[in-house]
Structure 1
């Protein structure tokens, strides 16, 4: 089987994202990587959904975990009648699909497609588990290939020795950007905002950049203005958990404030990803409120007195006025002209 994860950093190789095998799904625990290389092992699709909710895997990792989780759900009812299997898989599709509310529109596309794959497999007396697993690999190949186009388009906005600021962890786009940069002889310098409270920028994005040999520097989230004043940053980039048709984007909390600073200092901000066909405007974005305790501690160590309160909105919304362009598989679009993206054939990559 030809795979599209060649030359990718360790944590973006398929087996190190999420992997189904022998009645279990193994998910790399990104909450503690790279301090520890440890996997969460799930023996039911409900455990997979909980792992997604608990952010064992983040960014696009849940999309892979969702497909593998559906293969596990099929394994759980492999000895039942066809009708019972489909009923169970439909329930599993909902459970996994809504594990993270903000991206439920994307996740349910994956899980619903797995149900359709199961229907075909059952009608042809094929192995349902294997059919869903293979379809998940096909989906991974599509996504990696699609995001490779995005990464290469973004790379063209950078000089050969450019300085890049990232926010959070853009998963496949980050990996394909760095892979393309290495293949094309770019000598990038990468600055990663740490991304509190899970530190995805420090642990995940920085690891990908360092894995592929680029000079990598981590900054705390409150150092961005200093960075813009003291370093010549060529470009700020992030992925997006949602891109609405009217040009608003939802991404990890803190993205909007970096966009404000980038605009103030004249640094272009390019968002990467595929616009959401079913989200017309910012009102369609649901901001997930997570456990505030995570803000009051770092890696389980409390930073405050017990009577101190916290707040943890997972995402914020950046308006189109602060975005220089949206980099897609079809090229770069103005955030004010995303409707034209849908005039062409829509890419299926989940």
Structure 2
């Protein structure tokens, strides 16, 4: 074992001295651990769009660092011109992924900090943006640990835990969201047995979750997505933990495609289904899941991207939504850094923001 990824891997890091963003290229895992050194905003946009960085919190951190670095490159000599350059970078990065609310949350927070510095010199504003981007990263680490502690209170030693996609330390600043209680439980000797869905078509469960849990010494078993039902029926799963990219005010939750199917199965087998989501992922302006825009991805991800030869007929029609929405009625609880929200979520989630 190489040591826990919680301790040794930072998937997103700012190298301010060299004006670059350093990202772990998650598309190469588990076969290669390569860190990208990105200086151009287009390259940062590409990294978000092409999933070199993924996971809602990590996307938000990347966006914050990206808009800072883009603004740092500006040669504007006054506040208004600098704000114009900042806005161009912000709007451009906002087009990279439409569903993950953390992207827009982080960019909006950076804009709010910019406006707080009204009237100051460009250099002072740039320093403030750097500070804010680092705060976003540091706060995410604490948020994830808190989510992990609340989620761990719902679990018992020796339980079997099913996960979908990757909501681990490489998707956040540290710890992860849905995997945070796994790591904290590991430290306490809970000896969880984790079943990781492979998560078609991009295989985040196979490439990422299985990899980082195995690296951390967690008992992890990789299964195909269509095997979740049988292991639930066999009594091997006592809880389901998933991350989330956007939570509507009524509790409807958008997560990686296939999540809603897992929730339906868990309901059938009377297994608790928990969504682990920082409050930055909760969008109170979004009333229901019907209001969440679902990103459609290229057909190649289904037909050829992971194969030496195409595994589908040439030019066959495909439908490749990146996410689906799990109905709030299927969710046992939504675990946030401020506590656990239970139905009715329209009340409990709103209360979380008041704490």
Q: With structure 1 as the length reference, what TM-score do the two structures score? A: 0.89
2:4–2:217 CA contact under 8 A, matched in 1: no
Distance, in Å, in 2 between the alignment partners of 1:335 and 1:297 is: 42
Shift of 1:24: 2.1
Q: Give the equivalent residue in structure 1 for 2:302.
A: 295
CA offset at residue 121 of structure 1?
Answer: 5.4
Give deviations 1:239-278, integer Å, cap 9, x for gaps.
Answer: 1111111121111110111111111122111111133222
The partner residue of 1:61 within 50, 58, 62 is 58
> Which residue is 1:74 aligned to?
71
8 Å CA contact 2:113–2:128 kept in 1: the answer is yes
Deviation track 1:188-240 (CA, whole Å, cap 9, x = no partner) reads 11110011121111122222322221111111111111221234211011111
194, 197, 203: which one pairs with 1:193?
197
What is the distance in 2 between the residues matched to 1:181 and 1:204?
A: 19
- 1:69/1:107 CA distance change after superposition, 3 Å: same
1:245-324 alignment runs, 5 A limit: 245-273=249-277, 274=279, 275-299=282-306, 301=308, 302-324=310-332
SS for the counterpart of 1:192 is strand
Say whether the 8 Å CA contact 1:18–1:27 is kept in structure 2: yes
Match of residue 48 from structure 1? 44
Cα contact 2:199–2:205 (8 A) shared by 1: yes
Pairwise CA distance, 1:178: 2.8
Structure 2 distance, partners of 1:228, 1:248, is 23
Structure 1: unaligned runs, 5 residues or longer: 1-6
Matches of 1:193 and 1:61, distance apart in 2: 21
- Does the CA contact (< 8 Å) of 1:188 and 1:215 recur in 2? yes
- Taking structure 1 as reference, are residues 234 and 39 closer, same or farther at Cα in structure 2, changes over 3 Å only? same
Structure-2 separation of matches of 1:270 and 1:231: 18
Matched, 1:229 2:229: no
Q: Distance in 1 between matches of 2:264 and 2:179?
A: 26
Written as runs of structure 1 = structure 2, the 5 A alignment for 1:112-131 is 112-120=108-116, 123-125=119-121, 126-131=123-128
Match of 2:243? 239
CA contact (8 A) 2:342 2:348 kept: no
Maintained 8 Å contact 1:287/1:315: yes
Cα deviations by residue, 1:290-314 (Å, 9 ceiling, x for unpaired): 1111111243532123132322100
Query: For 2:228 and 2:250, how far apart are their aligned partners in 1?
Result: 27
Residue of 123, 137, 140 corresponding to 1:140: 137
Structure 1 distance, partners of 2:263, 2:270, is 10
Quick one: structure 1 residues 76 and 300, their matched pair in 2 at CA, closer, same or farther if it must change by over 3 Å?
farther
Q: Pick closer, same or farther for the CA change 1:331–1:338 going to 2, 3 Å.
A: farther
Three-state SS of the structure 2 residue aligned to 1:279 is coil
- Greater alpha carbon shift after TM alignment, 290-299 vs 173-182: 173-182
**Aligned position for 1:184:** 188
1: CA distance, partners of 2:20 / 2:118: 21
Shift of 1:128: 4.3
Q: Is the 8 A contact 1:67 1:114 kept in 2?
A: yes
User: What CA distance in whole angstroms lies between the structure 2 residues aligned with 1:300 and 1:123?
Assistant: 55
Give 1:321-336 correspondences, 5 Å limit.
321-336=329-344
How high is the TM-score relative to the length of structure 2? 0.87
User: Residue 29 of structure 2 aligns with which residue?
Assistant: 33
Deviation at 1:286, TM superposition (A): 0.6
Which deviates more, 131-140 or 217-226? 131-140
Give the aligned length. Answer: 339
